[in-house]
Amino acid sequence: MTSAEALYALGVREDTLSPEERDALDRDGYLPLPDILDQGQVAYLTQVLEELLAAEGDAAGKEVHQEAGTARLSTWSTSTRRSRSASRIRGCSQRSRTCSEAM
């Protein structure tokens, strides 16, 4: 599946972003999307990422580099434990505004 196909499957269309949003994304490399996740989704994703960081311990992020004061997980979808967590996160994002079934 190509990136364009994946985005289409997720419902992204030519008019999904305004011209200003597209410009900001192209210029800055990211686009703030306030309120795209509800509080339950944010709490669930935070829990999953904290579990991954705890499991990785001092080795978290060593695949690329570590930086003082940051929590980093690189290539986190490659291990079995990380793949299970990635599946939990994908399950959360595919549910209609709730992660309660995934928890």
Whether residue 86 is found in the same domain as residue 48: yes
Tell me the C-alpha distance between 88 and 94, whole Å: 10
Mean pLDDT of 53-65: 73
Pick the closest to residue 60 from 89, 96, 51 (CA basis): 51
Residue corresponding to tokens 């079934």: 101
Mean pLDDT of 7-18: 88
Q: What is the pLDDT of residue 55?
A: 79
40 pLDDT band (50/70/90 cuts)? very high
Q: What is the pLDDT of residue 102?
A: 46
Whether residue 52 is found in the same domain as residue 79: yes
HEC states along 56-86? HHHHCCCCCCCCCCCCCCCCCCCCHHHHHHH
97 pLDDT band (50/70/90 cuts)? very low
Whether residue 23 is found in the same domain as residue 55: no
Terminal CA-CA length for the chain = 28
Whether residue 48 is found in the same domain as residue 9: no
Whether residue 73 is found in the same domain as residue 91: yes
Q: Give the structural domain span for 9.
A: 1-33
How many independent structural domains does the chain possess? 2
